[in-house]
Amino acid sequence: MGYAYEAPGTSAVLADIIQQQISEKGRQWIAAQLEAWQSKGTLQTFNIAFTAAPRFLGRDEISVPPAAREALLPRSADGYTADRLFRVWWLLQLPVNDEAAYVQAIENLFNAGEMNELTALYGALPFLAFPEAWKLRTAEGVRSNIGSVLEAIMVRNPYPAQYLEEPAWNQLVMKAFFTDKPVHLITGLDERANPELARILRDFSRERRAAARPVPPMLWRLVGPFLNEDNFEDLERAWFSEVHAEREAAALACHSSAYPPASKLLESRAGMAAEIQQGLLTWETVAARVNGQ
């Protein structure tokens, strides 16, 4: 789950992806911006290029070649548009010899950013130097009501799992459920599961049922390792649900639990237990069923 800040190598990988998939006019614009930045070194020059990227590079989605995808792991640029990927690369051109100046330059971009700029900035978190500096900014972003910003923080982003404190992490996961984001694409989901989050999700499931609203099946992924006498009855409701995805999620939750009644419950459906053992029933297949894939 960890990653290291390696600007030169990462910068080269991102630059190669960009250069191969934009127009000659776009390449010329990038070269001009880089020359201006290297010669002038003013933040105004840097900020202008960051803001102007869509006008010169467009917002077509970039395809990340397998070799580049491997080189970037555990970070991801899948689904990025040309202007967004440029903005991530451009941030890597900031000097890191002065932490205060570096952090202030990026904070200024956050403070002035519009939706697409904020999406790029939050998605760039695992590429930035001085990772401890962005914890409060990330927690603030989780409170956003902008869908693309939330997805930039939550989806395939290793930063939150590695650096957020437990309360902020739990808030991120709950916000994902509340806003119907793809919870299964949150990096570090299983590693950061914790008893307090399981308790919050148990209460959430009860509130949903009391309001006659569906309970997200993926919720049980995070409750399963902490099944006990306080929440087992809630799990049983999913086990006997008429919704197939809920029953599958309950089976997977039982499989992840060391609670004896959960093991006994799973034994009562030998077919499901066998599918889990064979890798035919996983949280990925449950997510696919929930999303209609």
Quick: pLDDT tens for 164-185.
999 999 999 999 999 999 999 9
Q: Where are the beta strands (DSSP E) in the chain?
A: none
CA dihedral 192, 198, 204, 209 (to 10 degrees): 130
Read off the pLDDT band of 72 (50, 70, 90): very high
Which percentage of the chain shows pLDDT scores above 70?
A: 97
Q: What is the mean pLDDT of the chain?
A: 95
192-222 burial, b if ≥16 CB within 10 A, otherwise e? bbbeebbebbbebbeeeeeeeeebbbbbbbb
pLDDT at residue 4 is higher than 60: no
Which percentage of the chain shows pLDDT scores above 90?
A: 95
pLDDT at residue 112 is higher than 70: yes
Read off the pLDDT band of 232 (50, 70, 90): very high
Read off the pLDDT band of 1 (50, 70, 90): very low
- Is pTM, for the whole model, over 0.85? yes
pLDDT at position 5? 62
Read off the pLDDT band of 293 (50, 70, 90): low
74 preceded by a cis bond (ω within 30 of 0): yes
pLDDT average, residue stretch 11-22 = 95
Q: Is the distance from CB of 79 to CB of 152 less than 8 angstroms?
A: no
